[in-house]
Structure 1
Amino acid sequence: GASLEQLPAGTRVGTSSLRRAALAKRLNPGVEIVSIRGNLQTRLAKIDQGVVDVVLLAAAGLQRLGLDAQVAEYLDPERFCPAACQGTLAIEARADDPAVHELLAPLEHPPTAILAAAERAFLARLEGGCQVPMACHARLAEDGLHVRGLVIDPSGAPLFDARKVGTASQAAELGRGLAETLLRLGAGGIIEAQKRLAAGAS
Structure 2
Amino acid sequence: METIRARFGFRDKDETVKLRKRKSQLHNNVVNEGWLTFGITAFSVVFRLVNCSLVQTSFVPDEYWQSLEVSHYMAFGYGYLTWEWQTGLRGFIYPLFFASIYKTLHFIGLDSVTVLIWFPRVMQALLASAADVKMYFFARSMENPHVAKWTYFCQLCSWFTWYCCTRTLSNTMETTLTSLALTYYPLPGSKAHHRSEPRTPHSGASAVPYTQ
Judging by fraction of residues, say which structure has more helix.
2
Q: By the TM > 0.5 criterion, same fold?
A: no
TM-score by length of 2: 0.27
Normalising by structure 1, we get a TM-score of 0.28
Q: Which structure dedicates a bigger proportion of its chain to strand? A: 1
